Structures are given as structure tokens and as C-alpha cells.
Structure 1
Amino acid sequence: MDLSPRRLGLKTSTAEAHHALDTMIGSFDTPASYARYLDGMARFRLPVEAWLATQPLPPGFGDWQPGLYGEDLLADLQDLDIPLPTDLPPLELPDGDGLIGLLYVLEGSALGARLLAKRAEAIGFTEQRGARHLFAQARNFSSWRAFSARMENVCVYDERAASTWADTAFDYARNAFESAMNAHRLHRRLVQLRP
């Protein structure tokens, strides 16, 4: 499949950061590994979505709005009795007009959501319990297509800024997942130390 020029540019420039995140997330195949994934996803998406809700979209996006899954994530956390993370890292975005790069990362996650939803379902989590956010993303694939088309047609596009913002989003996600892993390791150690 031929990719559009801007999408190809972002895919190429962020390949290393994207790969590093995928490697860190790995493959969840148990309820415990899924809980770590869910915690990391909440630490990433909740702050980003809260910030995004305060921002105007670039001219040329019309009535399109990004897919927001924070409410589904909160319900999934509640289903698994995972406390809402309180030690969220601050979201620090670079200078420049690169919002399209951040949106590219968020909307592009729908591409992998189909596979992740199947993995979650295989270990007992569904669109009614524990994996709402994944199934909502997987069903919203049309948003990715609409975003991709608008991204190509925006008149003012700063390729360098978009790439920097996309890399920053991948790095922020990686830090969020690393923070979740550390929190789960600490919890395990504390449980083991209890008399």
C-alpha cells in the first residue's frame, strides 16, 4: 500500500521511537500483564487527552475531532481495581506548530487496537469489561482515515515540527509505560514483604 507523502514522512521519521514503545509494551497474555498495559495506557492517554481538549485543531480539519477514550480507560481501570495513577509525568511539548504529529500518534493507535482487542479478549477482557478503550478504538478506524486525508490537505504544515511532536508523544508514552511497570514491580515487592 502506498502511503501519502506526509504520512510516509512521519512514519519514517518516528520509526525508531515507535519501535522502542512497541518493544516496551510487548505482548500482554495474562491478566497481570494486561493490568500493567492498562495502567501505562492511562498514564499516557489521560494527560494527553486532557491537554488536547483545550487546544484548537489546525485550520483545514473542519468538523473532524480526534478519538478520545479517557472515559473508557477510566471504566477499564475501575473494572480491574487499578487505582487512578497520581504520579503522572508532566506533558511537555516542544515549540513549533506540530500538533499534527501528536494527533498522528494518537489516531494511529487505532491501527494496532484491533490486534490488542483480540489479545485482551483472549484473556477475558471485553468491550463490556476491562477493554472498552481498545474496542472503541478498533471500531473507530474511520477516524484514522479521516485524519489521514485532512493531514495531507492542511495548507500550513511544518514537517520538522510534526515529526518532533510525534517523537515527543512516543517518548511520553514510553515514559508512562515505564512508570507503570515500576509501580507494579514496587507493588509486587511490597506484597512479598508483608508478614
Structure 2
Amino acid sequence: MTPQPICTAQLPLSKRLKAGTSRAHDSVDALVMSVRPFASLECYGYFLRLQHDFHGALNALYDDIELNRLLPGLSELPRFDAVCADLADLQLQIPPAPQAVAPRSTYAALGWLYCSEGSNLGAAFLFKDTQQIGLTAENGARHLAPHPDGRALHWRQFVALLDGLELSEAQREEAVSGAVAAFDFYRAALRDIFPAT
């Protein structure tokens, strides 16, 4: 019997976002691993500059009034300052803050935030890798350290807020487009920053 395709319109927003970005996520994940960002402190320095570009570009979204209305507590979650502290820990120059992204709508911005907050869940593996090169949650790997409530609980809370939003089908599509744009931004930044990519 042929399996029936999943109707993404029936999925909770978080699962819709996951389904709509799986290809983009996998390609970015493979690209990050291919540059071996934790092979040395020098490689990790490139990774920090990448994180600075990404988290700096969407930092203002965390203070957006409408987004905080939709996702209470959002303003407490940005990691840009922690990335800057990590650069300082490694005595690396902190670049000027990148130009802020301008998603086409509040709903597209939700997709960017899904990408950013989802990366914190996956950072558990990256955080372990930083320990192999002598870094800790207090020195050099602050932005990869787990949320005080734990990664899983924090993610479940964020997902519950997303899934509790009452959005139209067009607004859900905008969220997916925003998340794909976030992955595209990250991929392009990585290729700009890491040598020979």
C-alpha cells in the first residue's frame, strides 16, 4: 500500500517548519561539519565570526515588540552578546555589528527565530566539541552553553509558544520561507568567512 503524503497544512507550526526546512538544515549541517570548525582554536575563531554574523544580524528581532507579544520572554534569549564575549575570550577582534536582517513580515521573522533557537538545541554536540579544544561555558564557548533551564525544556517551551499561535495558511508559509532564508543566510556567511569553501 502506497503511503499517503503528509498534509503539512495539518501539522503544528513547529513540525511544519521542520518539514519545510529539512533539506536546508541538512545541507547547512553537512557544510558546517565539512569545515571542521572545532579542529583547532584557529578554526573555531572562524566559526565564532560566522556566529557573530548570524546572531548579530537577527539580534534586533529579539527586542521586537510584536514578536515579544507573540512569543513572551523572547527578549531574554538572544546570544549575540555571548558570541562577542567568546571572541573576546579568545582575544579575537570583535567585528562591527552586521546589518540587521529585515524579514518581509512578522511571520517570516518567526521562521528566522525558529532557525536560531533550534540551533541552540543542536549546540549540545558542538559544545562538547569545544571542550576538546579547552573551552568552557565560562571561557570561549558561552554562546553554545545550555540554557539555564536545560536545552530540551527551553526548546519545548519555545515550540509550545510557536504551536499555540493561530496563523493563516499564508502566514505559516511566510514562517517557512523565513526559516529557509535564515539557513540560506548562514550558508552564504559560512562560505564568505571560512577559507576554501
Structure 1 66/102 Cα, relative in aligned 2: closer, same or farther at 3 Å?
farther
CA contact (8 A) 1:107 1:143 kept: no
Relative contact order (C-alpha < 8 Å, sep 6+): which is higher?
1
- Cα distance change, pair 176–55 in 1 and its aligned pair in 2 (3 A): farther
Structure 2: how far apart are the matches of 1:166 and 1:136? 22
Aligned CA distance change for structure 1 residues 129 and 64 (closer, same or farther; 3 Å): closer
Contact in 2 for aligned 1:59/1:154 (Cα 8 Å) = no
What code does the residue aligned with 2:23 have?
Answer: E
Which of residues 95, 106, 112 is equivalent to 2:122?
A: 112
- Aligned-pair CA distance for 1:164: 0.5
* From 20, 24, 32, the counterpart of 1:17: 24
Name 1:6's counterpart in structure 2: 13
Distance between the aligned counterparts of 1:146 and 1:108, measured in 2? 12
Distance (Å, rounded) in 2 between the aligned partners of 1:86 and 1:64: 24
Q: Which deviates more, 104-113 or 139-148?
A: 139-148
Classify the secondary structure of the residue corresponding to 2:94. Answer: coil
Amino acid aligned to 2:85 = A
Counterpart residue number, 1:69: 79
Q: Which runs of 5+ in 1 are unaligned?
A: 186-195
Contact (CA 8 Å) 1:60, 1:153: kept in 2 or not? no
Q: Which stretch has the larger CA shift, 95-104 or 8-17?
A: 95-104
Instruction: Count the aligned residue pairs.
Output: 180
Please report the RMSD computed on the Cα atoms of aligned residues, expressed in angstroms: 2.5
What is the Cα deviation at residue 74 of structure 1?
A: 0.8
Change (3 A) 1:147 1:90: closer
One-letter amino acid of the structure 1 residue matched with residue 43 of structure 2? S
In the alignment, which of 80, 88, 91 is matched to residue 101 of structure 2?
A: 91
Taking only the aligned residue pairs, the percentage that are identical comes to 27
Letter in 1 for 2:188: N
Match of 2:3 in 1: none
Q: Which residue is equivalent to 1:171?
A: 184
Unaligned runs of 5+ in 2: 1-10
Q: Which stretches of structure 1, 4 residues or longer, exceed 6 Å deviation after superposition? A: none
The answer to which of 152-161 and 164-173 deviates more is 152-161
Q: Which of 151, 167, 190 is the equivalent residue of 1:156?
A: 167
1:58 and 1:50, CA in 2 relative to 1: closer, same or farther beyond 3 A? closer
* Residues 1:7 and 1:66: Cα distance change in structure 2 (over 3 Å): farther
Distance 1:113 1:68 in 2: 14
